[in-house]
Chain A
Amino acid sequence: MGLLGSLNIGFSEYRIMNKLRNFSKEILIIYLLFLVFLETILYFILPKYLSPLKYLTEKLKDFGDGKLNGEIEIKSNDEIGLLAQTFNEMVVKLKRTNEELKRAQNIILKTTKIKTIENFARGIAHEINNPLAGVLNCIRTLLGNPEVKGQVRGYIELSLKGLLRIENIIKNMTLPSEILKSEPVLFKINEIIEEAITFVQHKMNEKNIDLEKKLDPFIEKTYGYPECIFQAFLNILNNSIEAIDKNGKIEIITKKKEDGIEINFIDNGKGIKKENIDRIFEPFFTTKEDGKGMGLYLTYNYIQIHNGFIDIESEEGKGTKVSIFLPTKNGNK
């Protein structure tokens, strides 16, 4: 059997290419349909997921404008929820810091104002003190003379009484610098409070005032001048008692703080008028008919001597809260 030749069949890829072109078109249509489907789903679903972000942005804007009061309510359990939670925590911290800043600013303003008045008053007191001593000496010499009698003696005694009152005021004004000349000692705040209470107990009984004490037994001793602190507490207690008509309540709370002691005197008396609060520590400022306006001025000075601070919050008709901070031994040194 020999080779006769060969049978050749030629076939073209043309039909394959046609099939592939159709196939490509099908894939492209599937791709486009899938793309449109996904984009449509996104179009409808995304606003739902992005709305908390929009809400958060609006709230942030409100916060920036100072309009935000409450916290942001986003309950989604994801990154957006976490962002809202962190934002709420930040708002709380910012508010607290802002309040503390305002309070500190207020204290600085008050301190500066009081210091200015105090320096002015001390300057005057110093100038008056020397001639006053001379006048008092002369008057005492005059009164020692038996020839001075009758109406003249009466006038001279009246003058002496007035001059002694002036001398007393000057002494009070120069008291803080006098105290600083003595040595500070360690003392317990709670003991001073108890002592001050015994001095005003009878007044409280008379007015039927209920006293509530919440004294922290773990507070450390403080370093300073116990007689000053005693006088300061006595002044505050006296003011509280005077502010209460009858059947009131005074609360005394002491709390151990990181670097000191916080003491609060809270009463439900008639309170202080808003316009008077900023002037309450000024010397000679009083709302009482027979007051000298030296009580809270001295109290303020006594606390200042101990590197502490005092603040008063009051609402007319509701009561007053006096907050004192005194550094403990280390802080005070």
Chain B
Amino acid sequence: MKKYIPLKRKLQFFIFLTLTLFYIPVSIILKNFMYKNYLNELKEKAVSITENNSQNVAQFILKGDIIELYKYITNIKNSDKDIFYILIVDRDYLPLVHTFEKDVSYPIISEIKNSSDGPQIIKIDGNQGIWNVKYPIMGGASW
């Protein structure tokens, strides 16, 4: 008798193929959706942190109490694991205080400099996926 692939195997393969074909696009769409969702959450959180703390930061700057300011921003960073760094620059874009272990990397300063004065969310490094939320510090009050 001629050799043949049993119907049972064909149906099993058909189920496998259907599920796989269904699984691939669905998983891509879901991952994309989840990514956007998580990212928005983080952005909102970061914006909220900058908004809530900009006034206090301004007070420390006006007092010239840089050590207290450093403690203050270190506390903020430690309170949230999603925060990679906190950096405060003056109006000439020179770093005042930051939480980096070493020096501030040039690309970050460059990106901040190139952005407008208002609140901004910028992607700093595409490979590492670092986002920077910039919020202006006004003399004693929020902007």
Contacts and interface: CB of A to CB of B under 8 A. Distances in A.
A17 B129 contact: yes
A38 B23 CA distance: 14
Contacts of B15: 35, 38-39, 42
Contacts of A42: 8, 11-12, 15
A31 B15 CA distance: 12
Contact of B8 (A10, A11, A46): A46
Contact of A9 (B8, B35, B50, B143): B50
B90 A31 contact: no
A77 B108 CA distance: 73
Interface residues of B, number: 59
A56 to B, nearest CB: 12
Contacts of A43: 8, 12
A50 B130 contact: no
A5 B31 contact: no
A31 B26 CA distance: 11
Contact of A10 (B16, B91, B124): B124
A230 B38 CA distance: 107
Contacts of A15: 81-82
Interface residues of A, number: 34
A1 B139 contact: yes
B31 A4 contact: no
A35 B89 CA distance: 55
B38 A19 contact: yes
Nearest to B49: A9
B16 A39 contact: yes
Interface in B26-58: 26-27, 30-31, 34-35, 38-39, 42, 45-46, 49-50, 53-54, 57-58
Interface string A1-27: 111111111111111110110011001
A196 to B, nearest CB: 60
Contacts of A9: 46, 49-50, 83, 85-87, 132-133, 135
B128 to A, nearest CB: 7
Interface of B: 7-8, 11-12, 15-16, 19-20, 23, 26-27, 30-31, 34-35, 38-39, 42, 45-46, 49-50, 53-54, 57-58, 61-62, 81-91, 96, 108, 112, 117, 124, 128-141, 143
B65 to A, nearest CB: 14
Contacts of B128: 12-14
Nearest to A30: B23
A155 interface: no
A2 B35 contact: no
A10 B31 contact: no
A8 B136 contact: no
B130 A4 contact: no
8 contacts: A1-B138, A1-B139, A3-B117, A7-B53, A9-B133, A23-B34, A31-B19, A53-B7
A252 B140 CA distance: 129
Given A10-B124, A39-B12, A4 B138 contact: yes
A47 interface: yes
A7 B141 contact: no
B82 A4 contact: no
Contact of B83 (A10, A16, A27, A31): A10
